[in-house]
Amino acid sequence: MCLIVVKNLDDLAKRKGPSRQAFLKEQLETLSIVEEEAKREQAIDDLYD
């Protein structure tokens, strides 16, 4: 991984949580929820079309 990216992740993690690993876990969980919500919204839109 690029050292600049690692430093940026570490900086974000320090502001939001105890560790880079915890920060990344939270981000991945959020991303998966967003993806699922987008699928649900698309399914609802498809029903109305």
pLDDT 10s digits, 2-49: 999 999 989 988 888 788 899 899 899 999 899 889 999 999 999 998
The tokens of 15 are what?
Answer: 């502001």
Rounded-to-integer distance, Cα 8 and Cα 24, Å: 12
| Cβ contact 19:13 at 8 Å | yes
**Is 1's pLDDT higher than 80?**
no
Residue among 7, 26, 29 nearest 18 (CA): 26
